Structure 1
Amino acid sequence: MELIDLKVEYQKNPLGLDIKKPRFSWKLVSKERDVLQTAYRILVKNDGESVWDSGEKDCSSSVLIEYNGQELEPCTLYQVQVEVWDNKGHKAIVSGSFETGLLKGTNFCADWITHDYPADETGCPVFTKEFKVEKEISKVRMYATALGVYEIKLNGEKVGDSYFSPGWTNYHKRLQYQTYQVDGILPGENKLEITVGNGWYKGIFGFTCTPNHYGDRVAVLAEVHITYCDGSTEIIKTDDSWMVTTGIIRSSEIYMGETIDTCYKEENLSRVVLTTFDKERIVGQESEAVRITKRLPAKELINTPKGEKVIDFHQNLTGFVELKVTGKPGQKITIRHAEVLDKDGNFYPDTLRLAISIDQFICNGEEQTFLPHFTFHGFRYIAIEGLEEINLESFTACVLHTQMEETGTFISSNPLVNQLQRNILWSQRGNFLDIPTDCPQRDERLGWTGDAQVFAGTAAYNMNVASFFSKWLHDLASEQTEEFGVPHVVPNILGNQDGAAAWSDAAVIIPWVMYETYGDVRILEEQFESMEGWINYITARCGTNGLWQTGFQYGDWLGLDKEEGSTERTGATDKYLVANAYYAYSTNIVRKTAEVLNKLEDVQKYDQLYQKIKRAINEEYITAAGRMVSETQTGCVLALHFDLAEEKYRKRILKSLETNIANHKNHLTTGFVGTPYLCHTLSENNLHDLAGALFLKEDYPSWLYAVKKGATTIWERWNSILPNGDFDTSGMNSLNHYAYGSIGEWMYRKLAGINQLEPGYKKILIKPEFIKGIHSVEATFNSMYGVIKSAWKCNDKKIKVDVEIPANTTALLYLPEKEKPLELGSGSYQFEYETETNLERDRFTMDSTLKEIFDEPVAIQILNQYAPEMMNHPMIEFAYQLSIREILATAPGETETLFKMVIDALNRTEVSI
C-alpha cells in the first residue's frame, strides 16, 4: 500500500492559500483487494515546529480532512505529512506542503495606482518600477491584483504562466489576488512592469457592447516580498513612486480583439495617480488559473471561393493564435476568427454577432512571435490578411481555459459517440474560462446560470470542477438579493431581473452536485443561506394555491415542440409547470442539505413545503385521469424524473412520454430543461432501449446529427447548421455551447454505469446497461478516492466486464443480465459469461454503407488501428491520394470487395458504423 495525490484544498502544494482551515485529501493505492484505511495521522509543521498533530485517528476518512491546529500565519510555508494504516497491516506516508497568502486583503500594504490618460486612450497602461538588489536572495513572492486584467514582467520576462488574472468576479463585493513565485530578480538593477487591460472590469461587454460596467479606469495593486539570505526582508510595493506609460498593446478588448504595434515607442513616462478600492473585498485566488493547456498546429490552408486565405485547425476551440514571423517594419498582419465556413466554403464570422474578434500585429522587421495578452476568441478557422506567403508551421492555436484536472474518460465501439464525447469535452474546455460561460465567441460570453446548472453533472465527470464552481458560487451568492433573487448571469452585468426557474436554481442544484461528487460538506455550509434564500424568494411569490405562476420564465428554452412559425423560444411545455417542477426539486435538495448539516428545524420546514408543492402540482397540472396539462416530452420527463407525480399517475405519464417520442419517430423535441433528464427518465423507467434508440439517432434532431455534420463542439441549437448546409439565422447560433452536452452524464451513469451510492464515491454503484448499436464501452472516473473503471464488451455471445474499485472504497456491481448485485471491495475484477443479447444495429444497404464508411473522418483511423493488414490494399492507398468521396466514383469495380473486407474487419473488432 502506498499513498499518492496529497491535496490541500484540491491542489497539490498550493501557493498563496487564503483559507484559515485548509482541508487535506489523499489516495491509497494497493495491489491487494479489499483494502480499507483504518487510521490516519496528519502532521503540519512550520520550519520544523509542529503547529498541528492530529494524533492517530481510527477513521477511514481520507477526503477533505479539516486542519485543526494553531492559527495559520500569512505568507508562511507549512510542511504536511500524512501517515495511514490499512486493514492489511501496512503503513504508508506521503508528504507535501502549502503556503499561505496574505490571508486577508487588508494585509496589503501597497497602494492602488492608476493613470490620468484621457478617455479616448486605448493603449494599455504599463506601470513600471525600477529597484536595486544588493544582497543575496533567499525567497521572493509577489502578490498582485488589478481592476482589469494584468500581466507582470520582471526584467522583460513574464512572471507566471496564467492569463486573465485576477479573473471575473462581482467587483462590487469580491476581487481575487494572485501569488507568484518570482525567480528572475538579478543582483543590481531590476525593472518591474505591470500591463493592465480593460478585461471584464472596464471593457466592452454585454449584448449592447457597452464599456465601464464596473469602472472607467483600470488600476493595479501589487507588492514583492523579498527575503534575503541574512534573514532581512524588503517589500517593493505599488505607490506614488511608480511611473506609467502606454506600451505596444495599442488596444485590447475581449470581444473585439487586440492590436499590437511593435514599432510603437512611448518615450513619455508620467507619475501614477493614487486611487482607492476597498481592500476588504480582496480574497485569494479561489480556483485554478487560466492557462494555455494545449497547442494545436495549423492543419490546412484554404483559398476560399471569395479569395480569402484561411487556415483550418480542425477543431473549434477557445483561445488565440500564436504567429511566428519575420515581417517588414510597419507590416500589418490581420487575423480574423470564425467557427465555421459556409456551405460554399467561404469564411463565415456571423455567429460572432458584434464581437469582431480581430487581432492585428504590426511587425518591426525582426524575427518575432506574436500572441495576444488580454483577449480570447472562439474559432476553428482564421482568415489572414497582410501576408503574401503563408507557412502553416508559423501558426499555432493556443487553447485557453481554467486548468482543471481532467478526471473522466469515455470510449465506445461507436465512433460517432466517441466524437460526441470529444465534442462535449471541447465545449467544456471552451466555456470554463474562469467562469462557466454560455459561449466563447460572440458578444455574450456570460455566466448563464441555467447552462451551468444543466451541465454541472457532466462537467464533474469530465474534470475536477470543485474549486471552479466554488469560486463562481461565491459570486452567485454575492449577487443574490431578497428583492430579485438569483441573477440569470453571474457575475451580473445585465442589471436587476427577477429570478427565473432552472436558471436561478443553479444556486441550489450545483452545490448539491458538488457535494455528491466530492463529498464536500463545506460547500453546502457556505452556500446554504443562498440555497434557502432562493426557495424563500419563490415561496414569497406563490399564489393562494401554493404555486409560482407569475413573472418571466425561460420555460424549456429552445424546445422544438412549439408550433411551426412561432418565434417564441420557450418551448411548448407550460412555463409555470417548469417553474414549479424546479421549485419542488430545489426545495427537496434544500431539505436534504439541511439533513446533511444537521439543521433539524429546517429539515422539517422544507419537507413540509416540499410535500405541499407536490400536492399543488398534482392538483394543478395533472388531471384525475393522469393526463398532464403539458403532455410534451419535457412535461412528462419533469413529472417523472423529479418524482412529482403521484404513484397512481406515473404509468399513464410514462405512456404519454413514450407515445410522444414515437409520434416524433423516436426523436427528441426537448430544449435546455428537458434534454438533461430525457434519457435518464427513460432508462430509469424500463425504457432504456428507447433511450438508446433516441441517443443513437443520426438525423435531425439528435446529438449525432451535429457529429455527422462535422461538429467538433456542442451546438447551441439542434439545427445550428441545417441539413442543406445553411445556418440558423435567428442571431443566436453558437457552435460552442455545452448545454446539450449534458447527455454526457447519462453516458457515464447508464452506459458505463459509474455512480455514487455515498457522497464522494466512498461507496460506488457500477451498473452498466446495454443499448443496441454499441458493442463495448470503457470509462474511467478519477474520484476523490482514486480511479474507478467500468468496461464491458458484448460480442460472440459473450459478455466481458472489467471493473476497478479504488482502495478505501466499496462497491455494488450489477452485471448486465444478472439480477443479484455483487458486493466488492477495492481491486480489479474480470467477469466473462454467455449471453443471447444481440447489440448489432441493422446494417444499411451495401451502397449506402460504403458511402457512410468513407464519409466518416475516423474510418481510416479505425482500419489502421484494428485491421492493419488492410492498409496494404491498393484501394486504401488510393484513398490517401484522392479525397475519400472520390474513391467511389474513381474505382467502382473495387467497391464490393473493399466493402466486404471493411465489414469483416468491423465485425472482428466490435466497431459499428
Structure 2
Amino acid sequence: MTNPYGLRTEHRVEPLGLDADRPRLSWKLRADRRGAAQSAYRLTAAARPADLDDPRRLLWDTGRRAADDFELAWDGPALQSATRYHWRVEVWDERGEGLSAGQSWFETGLLHPSDWSAVWIARDPAGLPLVDPPTDDDEPSRPALQLRRAFELDRVPVRGRLYATARGVYEPRLNGQRVGDLELSPGWTEYHHRIQYQTYDVTDLLRDGRNVLGAVVADGWWSGYLGFDPRRPAQHYGDHPSFLAQLVVDFSDGSRQVVATDADWTERPGAVRSADLLMGEHVDARLAVPDWDAPHGSDAGFTRVAVDDTDPGPLVAEPDQPIRVIRDIAPVALHPRPTGRTIVDFGQNLVGRVRLTLHGASAGQRITVRHAEVLDDGELYLDNLRRADATDTYVAAGNETEVFEPRFTIHGFRYAEIDNHPGELEIVARVLHNDTPFDGMFECSDPMVNQLQSNIAWGQRGNFVAVPTDCPQRDERLGWLADAQIFTPTASRNADVSAFLARWLRDVIDGQDADGAFRDVAPAVWIAREAAPAWGDAGVIIPWHLWRTYGDRVALERSFPSMVAWVDRIRRHNPDLRWRHRTGNSYGDWLQVDAVTPRDVLSTAYFARSAEIVADAAEVLGHHDIAIEYRGLHGAIRAAFIDSYVGDNGTVEGGTQTAYLLALAFGLLPSNLVRAAVDQLAADIEKRDIRLTTGFLGVALLCPVLTEHGRADLAYALLHQEEFPSWGYSIRHGATTIWERWDGWTEHGGFQSPAMNSFNHYSLGSVGDWLYGRVAGIDQTTTSIGYRELLLRPVPGGRLSWARAQQETVRGTVACGWSIKNERITVTATVPPGSTAILEIPTSDPASVTEGGQPAAERPGVRTVQPSAAGATVALTSGRYTFSAAYQGA
C-alpha cells in the first residue's frame, strides 16, 4: 500500500488562522514495497469531516487527476474568513490500484480589512494608575502593559477565536488562564510593511456569564533595545508598546458576539516592571494584582487605556511555525561561589530562559539571574555581551512557594549565576526557538564529528528565533543576510525551514531600496547601507534554494523581481562586469584566518553566481527572454572574471583558499585549468599542515569542492583536524555550539576581542550540508526539484568506519549510509515513492555488488548496475535497499 502522510497546508500542519488566497495543500508518501509511485490523486474539501464522505456536501473536488505531483494550490471556491476547511487526499499507485487517503484541515483567519473592528490600545500616560511603589531605589520604570476587558456571555458558545497581535510582544489571557503556548508573539518582521497576528482557539476557555479577556504586553522588538544601537529604537518603530485583539464568539443558533480592543479596556501595571529582549526582565511579585484576569477579578486600580491608532495597519496572519518552549534542560553541575552565589552549568549553550522554583523566600528578597556562554577562571565571562545586560531579577512576594520564569526576554547561555537564592536550588533551563520540525539526522562512528553535528544543530536552534540571527546573546541578534545564505543548505538538512525562510524573505525584499540594493540585515534596522557582496546575494540565492529543496515556486515568484533588480543594480554600477563599485561595507571572506581574499575577486564571483541563478529562475518561471539575457550576462561576467583574475597556470588572484573555492564552486575557470586550480588549493592546505584559512563564505565551499574534485582525503583531514584553526579545536575546548570565529578562545591568546566574539553563531557550521550530502551521501541531481531525482554518493574516508543520514523531503523520507568491515562496504538507501535514485557505490570490484545477498542487477527495484569512476553506479526505483561490495579503501 502507498500511503500519504505529512499533510501540510502552506508548509504547516493544520494551521489555525491562514490568509493565503490559494493555500498550497501538500502530502508525502510512504510504501512498504519497491517501485511504489503515485499515478493519480484526488483532493476534496468540506466544512465538516463527515461531509468528506458525502459527494453532495463537498465544497471542492478536483476529481481524479493523473499526476505524480505532491502539491496543489487551492482552486476551489473563494475562501471565507474565519472558516475551517477539512480536506482529504486520495492517491492511486503506479498500477492504478491501492487507493489510500490522508486527511487534514486548515482554518482561515481574517482575510479582509473590513473583518477587523479592533483598534490599537496603549497605556494612557495621563492616567497612569498609582500603585504602592517598592522601596528599592533601582526599580525599573517601564512596566509592561497589563490589560483587561470584562464581558458577558448569555450562554456557552460553540466556537471562540481570538485574533491578537502587538506592537511589542504579548501574552494573551482569558478567564485567569494563559491562552496558547506561543512565545514572543507576534515575532519580528518589517513592521512598517507587515505585523503578524496570531489565531487562538479559545472555545474551551469561554463560559456562560462573566468573562475577562486580558493581555500582558512588553516592548519586544518594537520599542525595546535592538541591535547595537545604544538607544531604545523609537527611530525604528515606536517608543511604547500597544495591543490589538478581536475575540469572535459563535453560538449554536448562528449568532455572533465580538469583543475587540477599544477605549473601554482598562490597564494597570503589575508585577512585570520591565522586560527587554537584550537587557532582561524585572519582576516584583509584591506588585502582582491578584485575579486581575479572572472572571471574579475587579477593575479596582485599573484606568482607561488610550486609543493608540484606529487603523489596524498592515496585518497578516502568521505564516510559519511560531516560537515555543521546545524542551527543558536540567543542570549538569552546580558551582557554589563566594557571597551566596551559585553558578549553574546546563552542559549546553542554548537560547531561552530559566525557571526558578523558590521555597521560603522572604517578602522583598531580590534574586538575580545572570547569563553567560562561557566561564573565565570559574566566573561568568560577560565582556562579549557588550551592552546586553542579560540579567533577570525577581523580587519575592514572601509566599511559601514561588516560581520565577521570565516571559518577555530570552538569553543565549550555558551558565546562569543565581544570586541570593533561598534554600536548595531548583532550576531548569527552557529552550525557545521557532518550532521548525527538526526531522534530519546525521551520525557517524567518530564522537567528535557527532559533537560537531550537535553543535551545528544547536546553533540553528538558538539563532532561528523570529529571524535567522547572527548570535543570540550580545547586543546584536540581527538577521544578517550572508550568514543565512551560507547556512541555509545546512539548515534545510536539519529541519523543515521552508515556511520560516519564505516568511523572512519578505523582510529581505521589503528592505530593498529603489536602486535595487538589499540591506546587510533584514529586518533592515540600524544598518541602512546597501548590502555587501554575498550579503545582498542572499536575496537571490535563498529563493533559489527554497525552489530546489522544497519546490517553493511561490517564494521564487515573489522574489524574482527583486532578484532581477539586485543583479541589474550591480551591472548598472559596474559596466566592465568586475564588481568593484557600490559594494557597501564589503566584508570579504569575513573572519578568515591568516589570509586576505581580494574583495573584487569575491564580489565578481558572486555577481556571476547571482546572474546565473536569475537566468535559471527565469527559465523555471517561463520568462524565456529574460533567461536568455541573463544567461548571456553570466557568460560575460565569467569571461571578465577569467580575464581579470585567472592566470594561465590556473592560479586565481589572491591565491587564498577562498579565491580558489569560489572559482571552482561557481564554475569560473576554463575546463583545462580546473585541475591546476585544485592542485593550487590542495597545496595551500598542505603547506599549512592541513589547516584552513576560510572565513564565513569560503568555509561553506571548502569540503564540498575538495570532495567534488577528488580530494576527499583533504576534506576529511580538515574535518578531523583538532589543532587551531578547526572545528575540532573548539570542540576539544568544550564547545557545544559553533563559535563565531575560529579564534574565539585559544590556548595561545585566550579570549578574542569582546567587541565581536560570540560562542553561538551558526555560520562556520555550514559544513553540515557536506556531512549529509557527501559523507552520508544524500543529494539530488542538478535538474531535480524537491528530491524527485536523488543522487546518492556516499564518500567514505578519514577515520570513519560508518556514517548515515536521514532527512524528510517534500516527497518523503530519504536516507543513505555506509559501513566498512572486513574489506566489504555496506551501503543502505531509502528512496521515497515517486522518486528515483542514482546510487554511487565506492567499490574496488563492480562485479561484487550484491543487494540482499544476491547479484544487484537481479534484484527488484534495481534498474541498472554499471561500472563507473566511483566504482559502481546503480539506478534505483523507490524502496529500501542494502548493498554490499568489495572495498579496499582509498
TM norm structure 1: 0.88
Q: How far 1:816 sits from its partner (Å)?
A: 1.5
Instruction: Return the alpha-carbon distance in structure 2 between the equivalents of residues 39 and 87 of structure 1.
Output: 8
Match of 2:134 in 1: none
Q: Does the CA-based 8 Å contact 1:410-1:421 persist in structure 2?
A: yes
Cα distance in 2, alignment partners of residues 522 and 230 from structure 1 = 40
Task: Judge which range, 519-528 or 429-438, deviates more.
Answer: 519-528
Letter in 2 for 1:302: H
Shift of 1:731: 1.7
Question: For 1:824 and 1:103, how far apart are their aligned partners in 2?
Answer: 46
Q: Does the alignment pair 1:99 with 2:107?
A: yes
How far does the alpha carbon of each residue in 1:825-870 deviate from its partner, in whole angstroms, 9 at most, with x for none? 11111112222227xxxxxxxxxxxxxxxxxxxxxxxxxxxxxxxx
4+ residue segments displaced more than 6 Å: none
Aligned partner of 2:859 in structure 1 is none
Contact 2:520–2:527, Cα closer than 8 Å, also in 1: no
Q: Is the 8 A contact 2:550 2:785 kept in 1?
A: yes
Partner of 1:631 in structure 2?
A: 655
Q: Deviations over 1:387-415 (max 9, x none)?
A: 14332xx1010000000111210010000
Aligned residues: 825
Give the C-alpha shift of residue 306 in structure 1: 8.7
Task: Give 2:135's aligned residue.
Answer: none
- Is the partner of 1:536 in helix, strand or coil? helix
Over the matched positions of the two proteins, sequence identity in percent amounts to 38
Give runs of aligned pairs for residues 324-473 of structure 1, distance below 5 A: 324-326=357-359, 327-342=361-376, 344-366=377-399, 367-391=401-425, 394-473=426-505
> Structure 1 residues 110-119 or 599-608, which shifts more?
110-119
Decide which of 179, 184, 188 is 1:168's aligned counterpart.
188
Give the corresponding residue for 1:709.
733
Query: What do residues 295-340 of structure 1 show as CA deviations (whole Å, max 9, x unaligned)?
Result: 0012211134897420100000000001111221111110000001
Distance in 2 (CA, whole Å) between partners of 1:13 and 1:550 is 45
Structure 2 residue 620 is the aligned partner of structure 1 residue 596: yes
Pairwise CA distance, 1:530: 1.4
1:606-755 equivalences in 2 (<5 Å): 606-723=630-747, 726-755=750-779
**Is contact 2:371-2:411 (8 Å) kept?**
yes
What is the match of residue 811 of structure 2? 785
Worse-superposed segment, 545-554 or 430-439:
545-554
Change (3 A) 1:104 1:416: farther
Residue 859 of structure 2 corresponds to residue 836 of structure 1? no
Q: Is the 8 A contact 1:764 1:812 kept in 2?
A: yes
Q: Is 1:291–2:324 an aligned residue pair?
A: yes
Structure 1 counterpart SS, 2:728: helix
CA distance in 2, matches of 1:720, 1:174: 37
Q: Return the offset for 1:457.
A: 0.2
- 1:116 counterpart = 2:168: no
**DSSP-derived class of the 2:629 partner:** helix
Are the equivalent residues in 1 in contact too, given 2:433–2:461 (CA < 8 A)? yes
2:857 maps to none
Measured in 1, the distance between the counterparts of 2:608 and 2:30 equals 42
Of 623-632 and 749-758, the range deviating more from structure 2: 623-632
Q: Deviations over 1:475-513 (max 9, x none)?
A: 111111133611111001124202211111110111111
Moved more, 423-432 or 168-177: 168-177
Q: Which amino acid aligns with 2:683?
A: T
The partner residue of 2:802 within 771, 776, 782 is 776
Gaps of 5+ in 2: 52-56, 129-139, 290-299, 847-867
For 1:658 and 1:499, the matched residues in 2 are separated by 32
Partner Cα distance (2:310, 2:475) in 1: 28
**Is the partner of 2:355 in helix, strand or coil?**
strand
- Could you state the TM-score of these two structures normalised by the residue count of structure 2? 0.91
Change (3 A) 1:725 1:496: closer
Partner residue of 2:864?
none
C-alpha distance after superposition, 1:424-471 (max 9, x if no partner): 000000000010000000000000111100100000000000000011
What is the aligned partner in structure 1 of residue 282 from structure 2? 259
CA distance in 2, matches of 1:106, 1:641: 51
1:700–1:72 Cα change, 3 Å: same
Query: What amino acid does structure 1 have at the position aligned with 2:619?
Result: E
Deviation at 1:750, TM superposition (A): 0.6
User: For the residues of structure 1 that align with 2:581 and 2:795, how far apart are their CA atoms?
Assistant: 39
Q: Which runs of 5+ in 1 are unaligned?
A: 563-571, 839-913
1:57 aligns with 2:65: yes
Query: Deviations 1:873-906 (Å, cap 9, x if unpaired)?
Result: xxxxxxxxxxxxxxxxxxxxxxxxxxxxxxxxxx
- Matched AA of 1:159: V
Paired position in structure 2 for 1:862: none
Query: What is the correspondence of 1:139-158 to structure 2 with a 5 Å cutoff?
Result: 139-158=159-178
Amino acid at match of 1:186: R
Contact 2:842 2:887 in 1 (8 A): no
**CA displacement 1:646-694 (0-9 Å, x = unmatched):** 2233222222111111111111000011110011111111111111111
Whether 2:217 is the aligned partner of 1:196: answer yes
1:5 corresponds to: 6
| Structure 1 position 189, deviation (Å) | 1.3
Partner of 1:20: 21
Letter of the aligned partner of 2:6 in structure 1?
A: D
Amino acid at match of 1:822: V
Could you tell me whether the CA contact under 8 Å between 1:549 and 1:576 is conserved in 2?
no
Alignment correspondent of 1:815: 841
Letter in 1 for 2:403: T
Rounded to whole Å, the distance in 1 between the matches of 2:520 and 2:207 is: 49
Q: 1:690 & 1:187 partners in 2: Cα distance?
A: 71
Q: CA deviation at 1:51?
A: 2.5
Q: Give 1:801's aligned residue.
A: 827
Deviation at 1:534, TM superposition (A): 1.1
- Counterparts of 1:502-517 in structure 2 under 5 Å? 502-517=534-549
Give the distance between the partners of 1:277 and 1:34, measured in 2 at CA: 59
**Residues 538 and 548, structure 1, Cα contact 8 Å, conserved in 2:** no
Counterpart CA distance in 1 for 2:598 and 2:402 is: 58
Separation in 1 of the partners of 2:777 and 2:200?
42
Deviates more, 1:477-486 or 1:668-677: 477-486
Q: Secondary structure at the match of 1:481?
A: coil
